[in-house]
């Protein structure tokens, strides 16, 4: 059987990312981008659909009677109507663990930039404040060390574990956090409320689900230390973004490093856009995953998933 494979958003991969083709008879069709109204028409003849961030819903699946596999070129599968796929006998698989070095490095890039006040001092130097100070140094922003501080990690997968390994090298106390609302979490997990109230840095590495959506709201932000940082490289919907903008404006927390937004790219009137340029806020364009070794591992695993499915030995099935 010749598979017809349709990649809905090939340009979502960074430029220069090489993608090998499966080792079986197939037709491969790339689309640079695909709008919501274009999905059904583009996958009508597909047996395999590849998507990174394009949503595939029940109606799209109904338009593709030969569709047997949706291969997500990412870990998060919230873009797929999984119940609809199961009801139609369509397998969904994802890629896992590919960014277990890239994302933790990005997390610490954000943490260090905020703790060492690099954006603020860079802006001050550019504005001539060093010359105005007339000294070998000057202090316009409070510097805080990482050693001995508490890093609370939400999510114990490969990314959370990778962050913990780096943190221990800095001499941080690392704790993994139990579920929100869970009074007695399993052994080894810190209760949610205690983590929120005692963390010096709170970093998110969990999937976006109905239970985790908006898990960081104004209530949590008000209870955090005024010196605390919030880091999110997982999914934008995990945080009430208007509440985070308010918390920074009101000084409820010391800073936030964000790589993901609920709407990507964020519109001009998004609360985060008014914060860009502040020394206590860093927004990167969903690039934590995109280190060169991570990209290669991701696309290799993607093709492995497609080949394994073709051999009736599916892998990474959601």
pLDDT in tens, 220-261: 999 999 999 999 999 999 999 999 999 999 999 999 999 999
Q: What is the spatial distance between Cα 102 and Cα 296, in angstroms, rounded to a whole number? A: 12
164 and 264 inside one domain? yes
Does residue 49 have a pLDDT over 80?
yes
220 and 296 inside one domain? no
The whole-number pLDDT of residue 73 equals: 95
Paired tokens of 151: 């890093």
pLDDT in tens, 187-210: 889 999 999 999 999 999 998 889
Q: How many domains does the chain have?
A: 2
109 and 83 inside one domain? no
90 and 130 inside one domain? no
132 and 83 inside one domain? no
In a domain, 90, yes or no: yes
Respond yes or no: is residue 106 known to be catalytic.
Answer: no
Q: Among the residues of the chain, which ranges form H helices?
A: 39-42, 58-62, 82-87, 102-115, 118-126, 129-133, 158-169, 192-198, 218-223, 241-250, 292-310
In a domain, 318, yes or no: no
Average pLDDT over residues 59-85: 95
Q: How many other CB atoms are there within 10 angstroms of residue 117's CB atom?
A: 21
The whole-number pLDDT of residue 310 equals: 96
33 and 107 inside one domain? no
From the candidates 44, 116, 213, 286, which is the catalytic residue?
286
Does residue 1 have a pLDDT over 80?
no
Contacts of 137 (CB under 8 A, 6+ apart): none
Respond yes or no: is residue 235 known to be catalytic.
Answer: yes
What domain range is 75 assigned to? Answer: 3-98+292-310
Paired tokens of 158: 């490969």
Q: Is residue 15 very low, low, confident or very high in pLDDT (cuts 50, 70, 90)?
A: confident
54 and 108 inside one domain? no
From the candidates 106, 235, 270, 310, which is the catalytic residue?
235
151 and 246 inside one domain? yes
In a domain, 276, yes or no: yes
Give a three-class secondary structure readout of 238-279.
HECHHHHHHHHHHCCCCEEEECCCCCCCCCCCCHHHHCCCCC
Q: In what order do the strands lie in the sheet with 281-283?
A: 189-190, 173-177, 150-154, 201-204, 229-232, 255-258, 281-283
239, β-bridge pairs: 216
238 and 108 inside one domain? yes
Place of tokens 């597909």: 46
The whole-number pLDDT of residue 14 equals: 78
Q: What is the spatial distance between Cα 253 and Cα 217, in angstroms, rounded to a whole number? A: 13
121 and 181 inside one domain? yes
In a domain, 316, yes or no: no
CATH number at residue 42: 3.40.50.720
The whole-number pLDDT of residue 236 equals: 94
pLDDT in tens, 116-136: 999 999 999 999 999 999 999
Does residue 183 have a pLDDT over 90?
no
**Cα-Cα end-to-end distance for the chain:** 24
88 and 197 inside one domain? no
Q: What is the spatial distance between Cα 112 and Cα 19, in angstroms, rounded to a whole number? A: 33
Q: Measuring CA to CA, which residue among 67, 41, 77 is closest to residue 309?
A: 67
Q: What is the mean pLDDT of the chain?
A: 95
Q: What is the spatial distance between Cα 269 and Cα 272, in angstroms, rounded to a whole number? A: 8
39 and 80 inside one domain? yes
In a domain, 217, yes or no: yes
Respond yes or no: is residue 10 known to be catalytic.
Answer: no
In a domain, 260, yes or no: yes
The whole-number pLDDT of residue 16 equals: 79
């Amino acid at each position: 059987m010749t598979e017809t494979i349709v990649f809905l958003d090939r340009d979502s991969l960074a430029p220069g990312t090489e993608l090998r083709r499966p080792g079986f008879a197939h037709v491969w069709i790339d689309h640079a981008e695909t709008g919501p109204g274009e999905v059904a028409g583009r996958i009508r003849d597909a047996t395999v659909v590849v998507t990174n961030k394009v949503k595939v819903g029940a109606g799209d699946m109904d338009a593709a009677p030969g569709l047997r596999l949706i291969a997500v070129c990412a870990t998060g599968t919230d873009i797929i109507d999984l119940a609809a796929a199961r009801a139609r006998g369509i397998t969904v698989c994802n890629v896992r663990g590919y960014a277990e070095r890239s994302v933790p490095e990005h997390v610490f890039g954000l943490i260090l930039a905020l703790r060492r006040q690099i954006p603020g001092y860079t802006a001050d130097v550019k504005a001539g404040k060093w010359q105005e100070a007339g000294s070998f140094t000057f202090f316009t922003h409070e510097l805080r060390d990482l050693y001995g501080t508490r890093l609370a990690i939400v999510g114990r997968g490969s990314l959370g574990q990778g962050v913990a390994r780096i943190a221990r090298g800095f001499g941080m106390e690392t704790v993994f956090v139990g579920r929100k609302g869970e009074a007695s979490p399993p052994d080894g997990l810190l209760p949610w409320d205690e983590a929120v109230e005692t963390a010096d840095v709170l970093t998110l590495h969990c999937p976006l689900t109905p239970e985790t959506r908006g898990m960081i709201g104004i209530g949590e932000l008000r209870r955090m230390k005024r010196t605390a940082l919030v880091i999110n490289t997982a999914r934008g919907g995990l945080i009430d973004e208007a509440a985070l903008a308010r918390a920074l404006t009101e000084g409820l927390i010391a800073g936030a490093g964000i790589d993901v937004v609920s709407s990507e790219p964020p519109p001009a009137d998004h609360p985060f856009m008014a914060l860009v340029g502040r020394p206590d806020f860093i927004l990167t364009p969903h690039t934590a995953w995109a280190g060169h070794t991570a990209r290669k591992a991701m696309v290799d695993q993607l093709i492995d998933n497609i080949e394994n499915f073709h051999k009736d030995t599916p892998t990474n099935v959601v």
